[in-house]
Amino acid sequence: MSFPISFPINYSLDLLITKEKEKEKTNYPYQKPDVRRYWPVPPLIESVFEYQDINNDVNLRKDVTDFFHKKILKWIDEYPNFTHLKSQKKYLQSNEGKMKIYNLLRHFIKNSGINWYDLRDNYSLIKEYLSKKL
């Protein structure tokens, strides 16, 4: 057995809902507004740092090549590992010899992943590499 819900005759459902809302407002006089205030966050301006790639610096490559060119000419006279190059000493003193050393250093850098500015720190590795490749 169910009892129907009885409403007063002259009230509609919409009217009942609005009356409920009015009661809630009277219970809470300091009700929050329907619209919220919004303060946007100030934009973050990121700094972009661009660093010069030293490995592409022509002056550094030339300086390092000159350094090892002079060292090879010195090593030919002083070290027994380089005695097989005595016959090529005249060729190595020319610009073509310098270009050969430059290309060998470039090949070494490409395969090993060592940077141009780190070549002098890896002096012994390059010494072995050049004695084998020349």
Q: Which residues contact 93 (CB under 8 A, 6 or more apart)?
A: 73
Per-residue pLDDT of 12-63, as tens digits, reads: 566 666 766 666 665 555 656 566 667 777 777 777 778 888 888 999 999 9
Q: Where are the domains of the chain?
A: 54-133
Packing angle, helices 95-112 and 58-78, rounded to 10: 110
How many Å apart are CA 19 and CA 124, to the nearest integer?
Answer: 93
Burial of 95 from C-beta contacts in 10 A (0-12 / 13-18 / 19+) = exposed
Q: Global pTM?
A: 0.62
Give me the residue label for tokens 């141009």: 116
- Could you give the C-alpha distances from 112 to 19, 27, 53, 109, 125, in angstroms and in order? 82, 79, 18, 5, 11
Per-residue pLDDT of 69-121, as tens digits, reads: 999 999 999 988 888 989 999 999 999 999 999 999 999 999 998 999 999 99
How confident is residue 66, by pLDDT bands cut at 50, 70 and 90?
very high
> What's the pLDDT at 7?
52
Whether residue 55 contacts residue 114, with contact meaning beta carbons closer than 8 Å, is answered with: no
